[in-house]
Structure 1
């Protein structure tokens, strides 16, 4: 990422750090209030994250991180990549950025009042414009990569639900195939699909769901856990069925395996966090030569373990070994080939004994779970280069943001 901001701009932005630390969330809340007053822009956002406050928190952390690293924004390359991938999935375009800039600058002036001098506003205008150009440039590259890929596309492509399977009492998988019958882009294991849905009585909603299958030329599988407060997950469970057509954008996301896996892998998940992990495991199971793979997964009970049958099938074939933890049972199922069962939750002390000094860790699950796991691994001296994790929804946890 080139450094092209003036010294004056960088100095002023850094001088605003105390104000951002004190009022950053107020600024982003005001920004979204202004931005979402435009119906055309509002449809680009996940309104559930607005209701919970996660989206303003995530943006406040991102703005603060940008200000702290304004002298060398290349330190934020991982965060920039994650944002760019998310934007591409949601089909954010260059013409959307001025709306965001206007809302952000207006919010800064509104919250800071007399402190928002013309010099400060001009510096933030330059800083936002620079970051916007960086994101637009990276997003342009990703869009082009999608367009150039076999089976790839840009924009929204209609897919039909051709299969539905209940994995557990509250989790369902859906098979998606393109309406045009043409090939689909083979995703990178760990990526997600983004959806544009027009729900009766609700309106337009956009969501991301991890692909839970290995790459294929003709279909994707997504696996969705029902959330009682989740408007879209409830719609999928209660209404989505075979024959329904959905608008889908090409696979996105940077929580992916490298093209050539050269190190042992430890895959750590909890609950529905196993969905992108399953895509990885099914992919690795097809490779002739691959380093060792170890799965560590937490669920409430055996019956609530998503993909339980498939896990046992793959483990029996020697594709990986696994330790499964059940937080709400006292009696364990019998040991099966390649799989150990445990009562209680996965703990940092247990995890401490399972690092061979070379393994790369891929982690996905609820934010609190990931924070605990990442902190435990970091405390063991494991470098960030060996830690990879997926964040469902906006990055509203400050620890996870700073670790990324």
Structure 2
């Protein structure tokens, strides 16, 4: 175990903040180039985020936040928990951490040159292992919880595709059961599954997909949008059929419905970001019909709205008030629409402010730009932070969303 950070180390870390602001992305880019030279480590990463530069940018923001808050790390508790959940989903283990330490310190030395004095490298070595020990400890707790949960597991488990459903022209759902015939752990509404996939011509790939099914079902359902130019989603759409198996980790993630908090809920989503909200909606319908629930969704047109029959049924039964925004018109194209309010255009911050419920907890998921606008609007309305919750897609390289 690394010793707690001393005052000298903390002072040096704070003094490096300007250098991180100026060179943070260069440092993390160099760090990843060193890490990814090792095939064992490279296979742990989503390589698409390396190609578009999003992962180094996201890590640079996280490292900067760590340095800026080195004297008040409690402020980063949410970010630490999110990282631990991501690591568990990817089966990151204690033996992986020394590789990252060597790559990070080597990158700092390479990018900063003579400015990376022995004192700076020593302070950052201590800071890294201080945080690493926190993560390793929390990740160990989560792994143990998974193993001790009925139907849970550690590592990778084969899940068989029991059913496959085309939701829209570019969205497909996969219903997954345990290939060994055993039980599956009850997921928390909002969690995701991490997959280890071997894509012909592309090699090992890791991806996370939110669980869109109700907690407690005999299966998990993931709902995948085909990404233009993507590697994994086109393969899932074109090559994975009923009877095939996929390797998955235990459900993970900290963007979950808070069942301890009573009061109104607003599920604010766009695109395929509705997937965790569907699981939350199903959980709310299972447990409490008296709770006010509003489901707000943005899509291009009526043909791009998945799960309309399910949403319509929930609305017709009074479980939810539903608002669907169509950026290219209001025509629902003959899909079931009972109980759904249709709107032309995108979900706007003006509409959000006009309909703001100050007693509600908002759960937000969708493209980064959508989340940034929605989160910023709610913050500007002085809604308490505890009532604004959101999930990242991709690598979350937006400074307003990372911390």
- The bucket for the TM-score relative to the shorter chain is over 0.9
Structure 1 residue 118 and structure 2 residue 115: aligned? no
1:354 aligned residue: 355
DSSP-derived class of the 2:45 partner: coil
DSSP-derived class of the 2:136 partner: helix
DSSP-derived class of the 1:250 partner: coil
In the aligned structure 2, how far is the partner of 1:156 from the partner of 1:396?
28
Q: Deviations over 1:105-146 (max 9, x none)?
A: 000000000000010110000000101000000000100110
Structure 1 residue 367 and structure 2 residue 368: aligned? yes
2:384 aligned residue: 383
Instruction: Give the C-alpha shift of residue 289 in structure 1.
Output: 4.2
Instruction: Give the C-alpha shift of residue 291 in structure 1.
Output: 1.4
Instruction: Give the C-alpha shift of residue 260 in structure 1.
Output: 3.6
In the aligned structure 1, how far is the partner of 2:227 from the partner of 2:306?
15
- 8 Å contact kept, 1:35–1:41: yes
1:50 aligned residue: 50
- 8 Å contact kept, 1:212–1:277: yes
Structure 1 residue 75 and structure 2 residue 71: aligned? no
In the aligned structure 2, how far is the partner of 1:177 from the partner of 1:276?
19
In the aligned structure 2, how far is the partner of 1:32 from the partner of 1:262?
43
- 8 Å contact kept, 2:303–2:333: no
Which stretches in structure 2 are left out of the alignment for 5+ residues?
Answer: none
- 8 Å contact kept, 2:302–2:331: no
Structure 1 pair 307/103, CA: closer, same or farther in 2 (3 Å)? same
- Select between 318-327 and 212-221 the one with higher mean Cα deviation: 212-221
Instruction: Give the C-alpha shift of residue 201 in structure 1.
Output: 1.5
* 1:221-260 paired onto structure 2 within 5 Å: 221-260=221-260
1:286 aligned residue: 286
Q: Deviations over 1:361-403 (max 9, x none)?
A: 000000000001111111111111100000012120011123x
In the aligned structure 1, how far is the partner of 2:331 from the partner of 2:266?
26
TM value normalised by structure 2 = 0.97
- 8 Å contact kept, 1:182–1:218: no
Structure 1 residue 98 and structure 2 residue 87: aligned? no
2:164 aligned residue: 164
In the aligned structure 2, how far is the partner of 1:261 from the partner of 1:125?
40
Q: Deviations over 1:144-191 (max 9, x none)?
A: 110110101000011111110000000000011111111110000000
Instruction: Give the C-alpha shift of residue 283 in structure 1.
Output: 1.3
In the aligned structure 2, how far is the partner of 1:350 from the partner of 1:79?
29
Instruction: Give the C-alpha shift of residue 338 in structure 1.
Output: 2.7
Structure 1 residue 210 and structure 2 residue 203: aligned? no
In the aligned structure 2, how far is the partner of 1:69 from the partner of 1:202?
39
In the aligned structure 2, how far is the partner of 1:151 from the partner of 1:74?
33
Instruction: Give the C-alpha shift of residue 4 in structure 1.
Output: 2.3
DSSP-derived class of the 2:127 partner: helix
In the aligned structure 2, how far is the partner of 1:288 from the partner of 1:332?
29
Structure 1 residue 189 and structure 2 residue 196: aligned? no
Structure 1 pair 260/236, CA: closer, same or farther in 2 (3 Å)? same
In the aligned structure 1, how far is the partner of 2:364 from the partner of 2:86?
19
Which stretches in structure 1 are left out of the alignment for 5+ residues?
Answer: none
- 8 Å contact kept, 2:109–2:116: yes
TM value normalised by structure 1 = 0.97
Instruction: Give the C-alpha shift of residue 337 in structure 1.
Output: 3.9
Instruction: Give the C-alpha shift of residue 331 in structure 1.
Output: 4.4
2:10 aligned residue: 10
In the aligned structure 2, how far is the partner of 1:317 from the partner of 1:262?
21
Instruction: Give the C-alpha shift of residue 336 in structure 1.
Output: 4.5
Q: Tell me the matched-pair count.
A: 401
Instruction: Give the C-alpha shift of residue 333 in structure 1.
Output: 6.6
In the aligned structure 1, how far is the partner of 2:214 from the partner of 2:331?
33
Q: For the aligned residues, what is the CA RMSD? A: 1.5
